[in-house]
């Protein structure tokens, strides 16, 4: 097992990465400070892992909330199911919420924890590759709105993250690919050596090789933890973690939440960001081709939906948390392994990218 720390002063917390961690109660129980726990999971994960998690808990009251599965249910209506369960079971201010699931469960559990009685503790136990390397780390929580993804939420840090690699054995191949989009992102934005490692090992990751997955999760989480420690609330450098996301969120909103998985939309969005970076003269066409080739080997889409017009992209990208004072800001590549945030976007080049990437 490897342990990382997200260094945020008194809000610092560990990330445990290894296999068969769910049954290791000594990792979990020290981060539960009261006598009550509420596990939030979904209908796909609950039959597989819920009882195993309950067996690890050393508290007097354990309740659970089983939500519908999928991005389409990441909204205020579903969030209210968590609050209703907490109130019905009389959970107090010392309760701990545990998110057992992917990014949707983690984001909603964290947001519920931030809001319930003005803030209670929570722990992340991610069950997808994407949530292990991205959404479970860093404290971003929230829900979607019909007009924009993740527009309602809060920064709220967990007490701990337990990334049990063995949970990925039951993950469908499409979900593995979606998670690899975020893994590849770290190579692009801040870790060129990791990008090369991914080029050499992508097939092992696709096959579910546990050693390769453990290394990829560790390296990804270390990259993210380093950035979050510098900029917890995304006032500066943390924005680079959103490479491809402004394009990708537009795709998810236009196509209907859940029709494109988040990682699939991010993959197409990263190609668009790389294409625009190439047109600005920052990366070469050969580097763009390397990015596309790696994403294709990971069975990820590298083109935006053909039915999305440039005008639709522009409209939806305008409803984005990175828009400031009416100006669109995009995360672009200065080189392989170095990202920048730019509000100096040439509209003609952007239109060329829209035309080339559909």
Q: Which residues belong to the active site?
A: 118, 140, 182, 224, 234, 238, 242, 245, 249, 262
Task: Report the alpha-carbon distance of residue 358 to residue 160 in Å, rounded.
Answer: 40
Q: Residue written as tokens 């994960």?
A: 45
Question: 153-186 in b/e burial notation, b at 16+ Cβ within 10 A?
Answer: beebbbbbbbbbbebbeebeeebbbbbbbbbbbb
Full 3-state SS string of the chain = CEEEEECCHHHCEEEEEECCCCCCHHHHHHHCCCCEEEEEEECCCHHHHHHHHHHCCCCCEEEEEEECCCHHHCCHHHHHHHHHHHHHCCCCCCCEEEEEECHHHHHHHHHHHHHHHHCCEEEEEECCHHHHHHHCCCCEEEEEECCEEEEEEEECCCCCEEEEHHHHHHCCHHHHHHHHHHHHHHHHHCCHHHHHHHHHHHHHHHCCCHHHHHHHHHHHHHHHHHHHHHCCCCCCHHHHHHCCHHHHHHHHHHHCECCECHHHHHHHHHHHHHHHHHHCCCCCHHHHHHHHHHHHHCCCCCCCCCCCCHHHHHHHHCCCCCCECCECCEEEEEECCEEEEECCCCHHHHHHHHHHCC
Compute how many other C-beta atoms are within 10 angstroms of the C-beta atom of residue 55.
10
Task: Dig out the tokens for 7 from the structure.
Answer: 């260094």
């Amino acid at each position: 097992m490897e342990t990382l720390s997200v260094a945020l002063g008194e809000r610092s917390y560990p990330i445990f990465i290894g296999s068969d961690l769910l049954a290791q109660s000594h990792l979990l129980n020290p981060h539960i400070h009261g006598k009550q726990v509420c596990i939030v999971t979904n209908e796909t994960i609950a039959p597989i892992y819920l009882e195993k998690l309950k067996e690890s808990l050393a508290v007097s009251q354990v309740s659970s909330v089983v939500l519908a599965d999928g991005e389409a249910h990441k909204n205020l209506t579903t969030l209210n199911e968590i609050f209703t369960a907490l109130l019905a079971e009389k959970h107090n201010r010392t309760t701990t919420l545990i998110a057992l699931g992917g990014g949707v469960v983690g984001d909603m559990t964290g947001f519920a924890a931030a809001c319930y009685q003005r803030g209670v503790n929570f722990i992340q136990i991610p069950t997808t590759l994407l949530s292990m390397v991205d959404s479970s780390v860093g404290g971003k929580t929230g829900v979607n709105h019909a007009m924009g993804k993740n527009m309602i939420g809060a920064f709220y840090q967990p007490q701990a993250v337990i990334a049990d690699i063995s949970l990925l054995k039951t993950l469908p191949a499409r979900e593995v690919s979606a998670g690899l989009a975020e893994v590849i992102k770290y190579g692009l934005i801040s870790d060129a050596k990791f990008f090369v490692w991914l080029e050499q090992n992508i097939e092992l990751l696709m096959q579910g090789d546990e050693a390769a997955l453990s290394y990829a999760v560790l390296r990804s989480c270390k990259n993210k933890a380093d950035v979050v420690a510098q900029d917890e609330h995304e006032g500066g450098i943390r924005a680079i973690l959103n490479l491809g996301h402004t394009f990708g969120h537009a795709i998810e909103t236009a196509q209907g939440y859940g029709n494109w998985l988040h990682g699939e939309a991010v993959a197409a969005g990263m190609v668009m960001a790389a294409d625009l970076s190439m047109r600005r003269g920052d990366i070469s066409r050969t580097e763009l081709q390397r990015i596309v080739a790696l994403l294709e080997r990971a069975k990820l889409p590298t083109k935006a939906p053909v039915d999305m017009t440039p005008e639709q992209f522009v409209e939806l990208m305008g409803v984005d948390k990175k828009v400031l004072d009416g100006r669109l800001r995009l995360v672009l590549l200065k080189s392989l392994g170095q990202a920048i945030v730019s509000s100096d976007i040439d509209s003609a080049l952007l239109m060329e990218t829209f035309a080339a990437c559909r």
